[in-house]
Structure 1
Amino acid sequence: MRVFYAIEFEDKVKRYLKNVQDIIKTTTYSGNYTHYTNFHLTIKYVGNIYNGEYEELTAIMDDVCKNIEPFSIRIGDLGAFHKKNSSILWVGITSGKQKLKSLFKELEKEIVESGFEAENRKYRPHITLGKKIVFNNGAISDDLPYFDEPIECSKLTLFQSHRVDGVLTYTPLYQKSFSKGVA
């Protein structure tokens, strides 16, 4: 079973991301776009887990989340990771990056101490809109809408990444609220 830790979004955030995605699609030839139900903000990719490791990962979540205060982020930057002839297109974090990086570091520390692999690249918080995006000659519109509300981050979710009827699906397996400073 392949799993990762992430912040799950409310529908209003997903609707905004879908709207941006639809505008961008008009400037591309092709791409593998993130499905509406799969929009999330990855904190830590774990990978394949085996017998007994699920319980260990949920225990790590319980331990880490009790030491994290709920926080908010803002989104807005549009960017891409370029690979050969295509790109991974994403929406970036405009505020709250440090809180996300701290959460990543806490999870990473606990996970590595438990024998799981460390991340081999720098953590760059972002929300993936699509992969293998091939742009046509047109530029991305400057008229993309802004999401000008803070996004509350009050819990962490452990997701399973799997295919259901051939469709990539992220299924929540376990959630834990951030509880430091919460009465």
Structure 2
Amino acid sequence: MADKHHYFFAVKLPNDVKSFLHNWIEQNREKFPFKRWVHEADYHITLAFLGFAEEEMKIKSIQSVSSAISDIGPFSLTLSNIGTFGSPKSPRIFWAGVNESQILNNLQKQVYQQCIEVGFQLDKKPFRPHITLARKWEGEQPFDINSLIPILSEDGKEVSFEVNEVVLYETHLDKSPKYKEYAVFSLK
């Protein structure tokens, strides 16, 4: 039986931002004892999670998304703070956020809508752009909400970056890194 991979559309982060986040984690990891840390190559901002996708639907979504975002050009995002999803005392997801961006919100709406029109059943939760850094709190003490701080460079400055690509990733749960680029869309 063939492997059934899951797929998702996401904003691809530049390598220097991935390295910055990885280094920030290495310096702060002891403060945040999570069980599983995301591989630095796998950092991204999810736009639409498709789950398993038949070949025909994948092809249609690639064509549809490519056309829908063809008029969106590169844009800047700025890392903002860290946060969590799940129980406040024992979070399941630890993430880095980005400042509010209307362009990012519009991009997500375009991608999401195209996937719905192709026939995918997508999560209806509101879009909360984030970069997952780790999963499953395993600290001896409950998570302290006051430990959530802005993510800044060593000299205290915000970290901004240019978004140039959207990617359709394929998930390989048995590998690390586990996300493989399946299709890439350059923003022009």
Scaled by the length of structure 2, the TM-score of the pair is 0.83
Secondary structure of the corresponding residue to residue 7 of structure 2: strand
Check conservation: 2:94, 2:135, Cα contact below 8 A: yes
Check conservation: 1:5, 1:43, Cα contact below 8 A: yes
Offset of residue 141 of structure 1: 8.1
Question: Are residue 114 (structure 1) and residue 124 (structure 2) matched?
Answer: no
Corresponding residue for residue 66 of structure 1: 70
Number of equivalences: 177
Question: Are residue 156 (structure 1) and residue 166 (structure 2) matched?
Answer: yes
RMSD: 2.3
Corresponding residue for residue 180 of structure 2: 171
Relative distance call for 1:144 and 1:51 in structure 2 (3 A) is: closer
Corresponding residue for residue 102 of structure 1: 106
Relative distance call for 1:141 and 1:67 in structure 2 (3 A) is: closer
- 1:82-105 deviation per Cα after TM superposition (whole angstroms, max 9, x unaligned): 237333111111242x21111111
2:93 to 88, 96, 106: 88
Check conservation: 2:41, 2:177, Cα contact below 8 A: no
Scaled by the length of structure 1, the TM-score of the pair is 0.85
Check conservation: 1:108, 1:119, Cα contact below 8 A: no
**Alpha-carbon distance in 2 for matches of 1:32, 1:14:** 17
**Alpha-carbon distance in 1 for matches of 2:127, 2:62:** 21
**Alpha-carbon distance in 1 for matches of 2:73, 2:152:** 30
Matching of residues 11-90 of structure 1 within 5 Å: 11-83=15-87, 85-90=90-95
Secondary structure of the corresponding residue to residue 23 of structure 1: helix
Identity of counterpart residues, as a percentage?
Answer: 22
Check conservation: 2:77, 2:163, Cα contact below 8 A: yes
**Alpha-carbon distance in 1 for matches of 2:111, 2:151:** 34
Q: Which runs of 5+ in 1 are unaligned?
A: none
Structure 1 runs (4+) deviating above 6 angstroms are none
**Alpha-carbon distance in 2 for matches of 1:76, 1:155:** 20
Question: Are residue 135 (structure 1) and residue 139 (structure 2) matched?
Answer: yes
Relative distance call for 1:124 and 1:168 in structure 2 (3 A) is: same
Check conservation: 2:84, 2:92, Cα contact below 8 A: yes
